[in-house]
Structure 1
Amino acid sequence: MIYCAYDEFCVSGVSSDDWGVSYSPSHICALKDSTVIMRCTYTYPTGYQIKKVFWTKTLVKYHGEYPDLSNDTEYSQRLQYLGDKQQNCTVRLSHVTLKDSHMYYFRFITDKPDVKWTGVPGVNLTVTDLQVESPERVTEGDSVSLTCKSSCALTDRATFIWYRNSQPLTERRDRNNELLLQSVRREDSGRYSCAVDGHTHVSPAVQLYVMYPPKNTFIVVSPSGVIVEGDSVTLKCISDSNPPAEIRWFKGRKIVRSGRIYSISKISSDDSGEYKCKSIYEHGEKYSNAVTLNVMYPPRSVSVLMRGSGVIVEGDSVTLNCTSDSNPPALNFSWFKENETSTVGSGQSFSALQSGRFYCQAHNQHGSQRSDAVTVTVKGRNCSPSPPQTILMA
């Protein structure tokens, strides 16, 4: 009987059972950047000695021989032969890459001329990375499942680890490649990735968006203290939702602006009033509580009101009242006689007993303003009435 082994040689008088290479397993699925051990044994008839052993990834000869992986620069630093020249042909390949996915064959050369053997079929190595499969958007309260996927079933039994925003989810470490989030919360939003315990490779992160409606909508006013006419005031509508809600502003029942921030430069008393913001979401809307802007300003439109014509008889008096528009209302009033520097009275009312032109000045903590002057004329009791006087009023 003549036996020919893989077109290498023909040997007379031997059985095919005397020659062989066995791989266990013959299919390996390994994770990117991991270390792979391809276990291998080989047999040959007695009377032969093994001169050379090596691994190759091609059955195409170059210069009469198959390429030795240990001479390949892509493998030489990562490949370590763990076998011998008798039976064991196991090899270790570290830091595997996706490009390492290939068929690999063990080959030995004997001391007899042209008696060589290649173990066919070889080891089919598939290198895979990890990918997270997840819906992009879920609604708060729903259940969502994320899957850590590989292109093949990993040969080594794997324990999966999950990360959110690069932080390990320590409660999720098991042999299941699925991450189940029941009744998902807004805090579950983030970038999810997965890995296999004991390996450095981590999958690319996938963003999970948890959609939720506004729960608390409120207004922040800046500055938060007393607002004086002429100040710049900013109202900010705080409304946490995903996606962000559309914001509209109301003064009373009138829409005055849209957008999250409502800025008023050089605020005036006309801007005083009650403000609300409304968050408009695809599944509903929500109003904030009202805030009141109470704009303070100094006295203005100060005037003197006089009872009667302003002509009085000697010994009588006329009452003058000082009125003003201010916020807060003016509480301090000073009375002056024109062309005199010192005050002639205080309080909102003043009794004039002599002829002259009088005016008042109203004060609050934000400023003061004076009125125009009014004329008071006093005539003697035994004198004929004075000619009509012109009364000036503010």
Structure 2
Amino acid sequence: MAMSVRTAPPLPLIFLLMIQWVSSADWGVSYSPSHICALNDSTVIMRCTYRYPTGYQIEKVFWTKTLVIDHEDYLDLSNDTEYSTRLQYLGDKQQNCTIRLSHVTLNDEHMYYFRFITDKDMEYTGVPGVSLTVTDLQVESPERVTEGDSVSLTCKSSCTLTDGATFIWYRNSQKILTEIKFSNKLFINPVRREDSGRYKCAVDGHTRISPAVQLNVMYSPRSVSVSISPSGVIVEGDSLTLRCNSDSNPPAEISWFKGGTIVGSGRIYSISKISSDDSGEYKCKSINEHGEKYSDTVTLNVMYSPRNVSVSISPFGVIVEGDSVTLNCISDSNPPAEISWFKGERKILQSGETYSITYIKSESSGDYHCSARNKHGSQTSAAVNVKIMYPPRGVSVFISPSGVIVEGNSVTLNCISDSNPPAEISWFKGGTIVGSGRIYNISKISSDDSGEYKCKSNNTHGEKYSDPVTLNVMYPPRNVSVLIRGSGVIVEGDSVTLKCISDSNPPALNFSWFKENETSAVGSGQSFSALQSGRFYCQAHNQHGSQRSDTVTVTVHPRSRWHEVFVITVECGAIFILVIIIIIILLFIIKKRMIVKSEDLTEEPLSYYNEDPALELKSTTSDLHDTLTTVDRRPPEDS
């Protein structure tokens, strides 16, 4: 024990030593026990009593973990932040100095001292103090045991717990009820594979539990089986997993077999995109150092939609109208597929793998295909073309564009023909061949291309002509010219007739007359009467365009007196000559009748009078007609 004395006036050293020696029997601190071994996170009670001489009064009591020379450096644990919330003083200021320290940790491992101070400046520290050791529990177990061995597990700590400890055991967090209760040893004899697990121990009344220790019980594989995921129907293209379930320790090595052939290893055998080729019986083998075992077999029956669908045709080769034809639909599927038949896009009512046509007609030509379907999908075959031979028919010509055809346009004649094999096409304009091929094209049509066209369709089985079609090419006026009736030279008061001639389709119906150097028309219609001198031209119009003629010259001379006399003389002469001619004709007719009467009297043959004198006269008589004279054309002068 140690005691420190504090007095106001200094005293001789020998006196102080005497006081300490004399008083040591009256001062003291007792700890019970002086060594404490506690579990981590548990609560510790440090029991303590103290004494001091009569006549002193206690002013302050506290616990500390430091020993210093200067009494002012003693640290009161109740003022230490690490202890203030965990330390509780259970004693008094008389004799009891017991404390409780909760939630102890490894950092709390120290020597602890009790110290008190009296009213006469006397201070006392109980030395040596209480030694605190904090420990954790730990399970001690063999690393590996074999099924049937005897096993002993021990719950150990770094020091002997001060309190009489009773132990609790846990396996996989479940409390174990053993025959030897509250022992720090756990006996398992014999050990079984079911005893494998994580073992822990604890002290009864304390929450602290030891870390878990794994007890591995070794044994050979058992309960080997195969599970399939996903379960149920397996469809081609799915991802499939086979899992080998095996109970063994150490874990077994897994091998996979399809039939008698090894196909993989590992607990899981995956097929990412299963196909029909993966169908079959599978099993796994589980093996470790203690033995091996096979699973029962499982069967993979892979369902798949129809594939490799095709159509075969019999007889193979040329098919002639009237033959019997059989089509057969071939497909591969699981389960077997239902078959439907199509001609083009139209479904045929007949079903089944075979489609027969007993007497085939040309109308049966076309593309045939079959569709195979089961609950997992469908597939359509490629089409087979059934070709039936026959001569050309339905030959006709189609004109594009339809409607009015104008000179300069592009025109296409298309020969439409139904035949097998395809026919050779020839084109005719009238009776002349002008081209070949299904299409006859005229890039810039002209009026010369007008006429009747037809095509001839010819193959090895016959030929046929289309009905003719007419190309009537429309074009604007062209070759426009002016014709003058009579002479272009007239006298004042007379007129000359001008006629506008043109070539167009349809014929021009609209004509305009112009006098050179004048902007306004001077007349209209196909004929125009000119009354004055000048250079004249016409312009012809139809709905496709217009064109003007070259100019013609009309000259008008002033009328003279001798000319009037001449005109009157000519007119009178003409009348006189006309009267003479009429008289001659009448005399000729009278004479002819007399001759005929005389011939009747003399019974002359009628053939004598075959020739008609009147007709002879008529043939020798010059016709009176107007002479159309084309006047010299000159291009209009630039105005």
**Shared fold, TM over 0.5:** yes
Matched, 1:171 2:177: yes
- Contact 1:302-1:362 within 8 A present in 2 as well: no
Question: Alignment partner for residue 126 of structure 1, among 115, 133, 138?
Answer: 133
Task: Report the counterpart of residue 235 of structure 1 in structure 2.
Answer: 242
Could you tell me which amino acid in structure 1 is paired with residue 164 of structure 2?
Answer: R
C-alpha distance in structure 1 between counterparts of 2:351 and 2:47, whole Å:
112
Matches within 5 A, 1:201-216: 201-216=208-223
Task: Report the counterpart of residue 103 of structure 1 in structure 2.
Answer: 111
Matches within 5 A, 1:241-252: 241-252=248-259
Could you tell me which amino acid in structure 2 is paired with residue 127 of structure 1?
Answer: V
C-alpha distance in structure 1 between counterparts of 2:49 and 2:275, whole Å:
92
Task: Report the counterpart of residue 470 of structure 2 in structure 1.
Answer: none
| Secondary structure of residue in 1 paired with 2:88 | strand
Matches within 5 A, 1:339-378: none
1:170–1:273 Cα change, 3 Å: closer
> What is the CA distance between 1:363 and its match in structure 2?
8.3
> What is the CA distance between 1:200 and its match in structure 2?
2.5
Task: Report the counterpart of residue 259 of structure 1 in structure 2.
Answer: 266
Matches within 5 A, 1:211-230: 211-227=218-234, 229-230=236-237
Which segment is superposed worse, 226-235 or 154-163?
Answer: 226-235
Matched, 1:74 2:96: no
C-alpha distance in structure 2 between counterparts of 1:363 and 1:108, whole Å:
105
- Contact 2:280-2:301 within 8 A present in 1 as well: yes
Task: Report the counterpart of residue 59 of structure 2 in structure 1.
Answer: 51
Tell me how large the CA RMSD over aligned residues is: 4.5
> What is the CA distance between 1:70 and its match in structure 2?
2.3
- Contact 2:280-2:299 within 8 A present in 1 as well: yes
Unaligned runs of 5+ in 1: 307-319, 336-340, 373-394
| Secondary structure of residue in 2 paired with 1:204 | coil
Matched, 1:145 2:152: yes
Could you tell me which amino acid in structure 1 is paired with residue 270 of structure 2?
Answer: S
- Contact 1:328-1:364 within 8 A present in 2 as well: no
**1:135-171 CA distance string (max 9 Å, x none):** 4444444343332222211111222223344x34152
- Contact 1:61-1:67 within 8 A present in 2 as well: no
| Secondary structure of residue in 2 paired with 1:39 | strand
Matched, 1:193 2:200: yes
1:102–1:257 Cα change, 3 Å: same
User: If each structure's helix is expressed as a fraction of its own residues, which one has the higher value?
Assistant: 2
| Secondary structure of residue in 2 paired with 1:17 | coil
Task: Report the counterpart of residue 30 of structure 2 in structure 1.
Answer: 22
| Higher CA-based Rg | 2
Matches within 5 A, 1:271-350: 271-295=278-302
1:354–1:82 Cα change, 3 Å: closer
| Secondary structure of residue in 2 paired with 1:14 | helix
- Contact 1:21-1:40 within 8 A present in 2 as well: yes
Could you tell me which amino acid in structure 1 is paired with residue 287 of structure 2?
Answer: I
Question: Alignment partner for residue 43 of structure 2, among 35, 50, 53?
Answer: 35
1:108–1:236 Cα change, 3 Å: closer
1:326–1:63 Cα change, 3 Å: same
| Secondary structure of residue in 1 paired with 2:78 | helix
| Secondary structure of residue in 1 paired with 2:249 | coil
Which segment is superposed worse, 209-218 or 21-30?
Answer: 209-218
> What is the CA distance between 1:214 and its match in structure 2?
1.9
> What is the CA distance between 1:215 and its match in structure 2?
0.4
1:36–1:301 Cα change, 3 Å: closer
**1:75-97 CA distance string (max 9 Å, x none):** 22222222223222222222222
C-alpha distance in structure 2 between counterparts of 1:331 and 1:94, whole Å:
81
Could you tell me which amino acid in structure 2 is paired with residue 22 of structure 1?
Answer: S
Could you tell me which amino acid in structure 2 is paired with residue 288 of structure 1?
Answer: S
> What is the CA distance between 1:368 and its match in structure 2?
9.3
1:226–1:175 Cα change, 3 Å: closer
Question: Alignment partner for residue 68 of structure 2, among 50, 60, 63?
Answer: 60
C-alpha distance in structure 2 between counterparts of 1:197 and 1:25, whole Å:
21
C-alpha distance in structure 2 between counterparts of 1:81 and 1:345, whole Å:
102
> What is the CA distance between 1:43 and its match in structure 2?
2.3
Could you tell me which amino acid in structure 2 is paired with residue 196 of structure 1?
Answer: V
C-alpha distance in structure 2 between counterparts of 1:280 and 1:228, whole Å:
32
- Contact 1:302-1:325 within 8 A present in 2 as well: yes
- Relative contact order higher in (CA < 8 Å, ≥ 6 apart): 1
C-alpha distance in structure 2 between counterparts of 1:158 and 1:231, whole Å:
62
**1:32-55 CA distance string (max 9 Å, x none):** 222222112222333333333222
Q: TM-score, normalised on structure 2?
A: 0.46
Could you tell me which amino acid in structure 1 is paired with residue 225 of structure 2?
Answer: F
1:213–1:303 Cα change, 3 Å: farther
Task: Report the counterpart of residue 439 of structure 2 in structure 1.
Answer: none
Q: TM-score, normalised on structure 1?
A: 0.70
Could you tell me which amino acid in structure 1 is paired with residue 38 of structure 2?
Answer: A
1:28–1:333 Cα change, 3 Å: closer
1:276–1:179 Cα change, 3 Å: same
C-alpha distance in structure 2 between counterparts of 1:75 and 1:135, whole Å:
40
